[in-house]
Amino acid sequence: MSYDHLYKPKPCTSWPASQLRAVGITYREAAGQGLDAAACLERAVVAYVAAGGARQGSTRAVLDMIASLAIEEGDWLWGPAQALRDRQARTACQPDLFELPVKGEARC
């Protein structure tokens, strides 16, 4: 399968600011809580509709908004999710406080 062009979302400025803000903040917070993509999307769709977005086609619009935000404001959008992953990685690598290290063995 081939495509004539790559998908490129509309710029963030093309979306109503209140709807883009609601979608971005909601998706960002949900991802920062460790929810999966489907749960994040579900929450963002609810926020989009609450901010005045149309129910019909809401999932597509929210996905497009998230794509726009990911391209233009990726560090902001994914910051909390990345921080959560970093914390989880550090926790998984914590040495046992009550176990003496074996000579020559690297600790985490």
Q: Domain coordinates of the chain in residue numbers? A: 13-83
Residue 16, SS3 per DSSP: coil
Amino acid 57: pLDDT: 94
The set of residues, in sequence order, having a beta carbon less than 8 Å from that of 49 and lying 6+ positions away, is 55, 58
Give the tokens for residue 79. Answer: 């910051």
Letter for the amino acid at 57?
A: G
What does the pLDDT profile of the chain (108 residues) look like in tens digits? 566 778 888 899 999 999 999 999 999 999 988 889 999 999 999 999 999 999 999 999 999 999 999 999 888 888 888 888 887 777 766 666 666 666 665 555
What is the rounded CA–CA span in Å between residue 77 and residue 92? 25
Letter for the amino acid at 60?
A: R
Letter for the amino acid at 31?
A: A
